[in-house]
Chains A and B, each alone.
Chain A
Amino acid sequence: MSASLSNQQQQNDGPIAVPPSSKDIFLDRTFRTFTTCFAWLTLLLIGYIVWEIGGTALPAIKEMGVGFLTGTTWDPNKGEFGILPQIWGTFYSSLLTLLLGGSFGIAIAVFLTQDFLPNKIQIVLKSTIELLAAIPSVVYGLWGIFVLIPLIRPVANWLHATLGWIPFFSTSLSGPGMFPAALVLSIMILPTVAAISQDALSAIPDKIKEAAYGMGTTRWEAILKVLLPTASRGIFGGLVLGFGRALGETMALAMLVGNSNQLSLSLFSPADTLAALLALNFPEASDYETQILMYAAVVLLFITLAVNIIGELIISYSERSGGKK
Chain B
Amino acid sequence: MKNTPNFNKSFTDSRALKSIFLSTITVLCAVGACIPLFSVLVMLIMRGGKRLSFELFYALPPTAFDTGGGFGNAIVGTLFMVGIAALIAVPFGILAAIYLAEFGENGKLAEIARFCAKTMTGIPSILAGVLAYAAVVMVTGTYSAIAGGVALSILMIPTIMLTAEESIKMVPSAMREAAVGMGCTKTQVMWKVMLPVAMPGMITGVMLAVARVSGETAPLLFTALFSDYWIFQGGAGDIMEPTASLAVLIYNFSGMPFENQIELAWAASLVLVTMVFIINIISRMLFQKKK
**A137, B138: Cα distance in complex, Å:** 27
**A241, B124: Cα distance in complex, Å:** 12
Q: Do A52 and B119 touch across chains, with their CB atoms under 8 A apart?
A: no
**Given A46-B120, A108-B30, A247-B124 in contact, is the A219-B188 Cβ separation under 8 Å?**
no
Q: Does B215 sit at the interface, judged by CB under 8 A?
A: yes
Chain B residues lying within 8 Å of A35, measured Cβ to Cβ, are: 95-96, 98-99, 103
Chain B residues lying within 8 Å of A288, measured Cβ to Cβ, are: none
Per-residue CB contact flags for chain B residues 244-283 toward chain A (1 = under 8 Å, else 0) read: 0001001100110000001001100100110011001100
Chain B residues lying within 8 Å of A244, measured Cβ to Cβ, are: 122
Q: Do A147 and B185 touch across chains, with their CB atoms under 8 A apart?
A: no
**A213, B7: Cα distance in complex, Å:** 10
From B8, B157, B218, contact of A279 by CB (8 A): B218
**A305, B115: Cα distance in complex, Å:** 12
**Given A52-B135, A248-B126, A279-B218 in contact, is the A142-B186 Cβ separation under 8 Å?**
no
From A42, A131, A250, contact of B117 by CB (8 A): A42
Query: Taking the nearest CB of chain A, how far is it from the CB of B3, in angstroms?
Result: 5
Which residues of chain A from 111 to 126 have a CB within 8 Å of any chain B CB? 111-112, 114-116, 118
**Given A35-B99, A42-B116, A52-B135 in contact, is the A241-B127 Cβ separation under 8 Å?**
no
- Pair count A-B, CB < 8 A: 272
B contacts with A: majority SS: helix
Which of B17-25, B55-63, B65-73, B232-240 is the contact stretch? B17-25
Query: Taking the nearest CB of chain B, how far is it from the CB of A2, in angstroms?
Result: 21
**Given A107-B29, A110-B26, A275-B218 in contact, is the A308-B119 Cβ separation under 8 Å?**
yes
Query: Taking the nearest CB of chain A, how far is it from the CB of B70, in angstroms?
Result: 17
Which residues of chain B from 82 to 121 have a CB within 8 Å of any chain A CB? 92, 95-96, 98-100, 103-104, 109-110, 112-113, 115-120
A contacts with B: majority SS: helix
Q: Do B127 and A301 touch across chains, with their CB atoms under 8 A apart?
A: yes
Chain A residues lying within 8 Å of B284, measured Cβ to Cβ, are: 127
Q: Do B1 and A116 touch across chains, with their CB atoms under 8 A apart?
A: yes
7 A-B pairs closest in CB distance: A248-B124, A136-B215, A308-B122, A107-B29, A28-B185, A250-B218, A35-B99
Add 14 more A-B contacts to A20-B184, A111-B29 (CB < 8 A): A36-B104, A38-B96, A104-B29, A107-B25, A115-B1, A129-B37, A137-B215, A137-B218, A138-B254, A146-B254, A221-B19, A282-B130, A308-B122, A312-B118
Interface residue ranges, A against B (CB under 8 Å): 16-20, 24-25, 27-28, 31-32, 34-36, 38-43, 45-46, 49, 52-53, 55-56, 103-105, 107-108, 110-112, 114-116, 118, 127, 129, 131-132, 134-143, 145-148, 187, 190, 213, 216, 218-221, 223-224, 241, 244-245, 247-251, 254-255, 275, 278-279, 282-283, 290, 293-294, 297, 300-301, 304-305, 307-309, 311-312
26 contacts between A and B (CB under 8 A): A17-B181, A19-B183, A25-B185, A35-B95, A35-B98, A39-B110, A42-B117, A45-B120, A49-B123, A55-B134, A115-B1, A131-B280, A134-B215, A137-B217, A138-B247, A138-B250, A143-B39, A145-B254, A146-B47, A187-B37, A219-B23, A251-B251, A282-B221, A305-B122, A308-B122, A312-B119
